[in-house]
Amino acid sequence: MAARTGRIASCLLLGVAVGAIGTVMHRSMPPWGLVLGLVVVLSAGVFARAWEEWRGSAAYAAGWLATVLTLWQVGPGGDILVPAIGPWGNVWILGGVVVLALPVVAPSRWFEDR
């Protein structure tokens, strides 16, 4: 039970890390920063699903969404990392949600060791 809780917490922290780094980097090298960010979101989502099934995917998605939506807000100095106007922010958030869903809807046999 403690091992499972630790793995789920690790998936949550992975989502926080990927969300934070991806939010900062998605506009760094247009369009490759965004593409690389979405690839990392997908690969970490596949890892979370393979490691801890649907619980890992849910924890990873919760960490990613909470981080991205927090960083989407206007900061205390008026800074914003994900501007609402413009394609990069929209593709990062909406594309990220779509990419998060891909490992969740994939067949479970893809993630089984035999």
Each of the 114 residues of the chain gets a pLDDT tens digit; together they read 899 999 999 999 999 999 999 999 988 888 899 999 999 999 999 999 999 999 999 999 999 999 999 988 888 888 887 776 678 888 999 999 999 999 999 999 999 887
Q: Is residue 28 part of a domain?
A: yes
CB 52 within 8 A of CB 109: no
Task: Pick left, alpha or beta for residue 53 (phi over 0 → left; psi -120 to 50 → alpha; otherwise beta).
Answer: left
pTM, rounded to two decimals? 0.92
Domain of residue 71: give its range. 8-111
The number of distinct structural domains making up the chain is 1
Residue 103: predicted pLDDT:
96
Residue 85: predicted pLDDT:
64
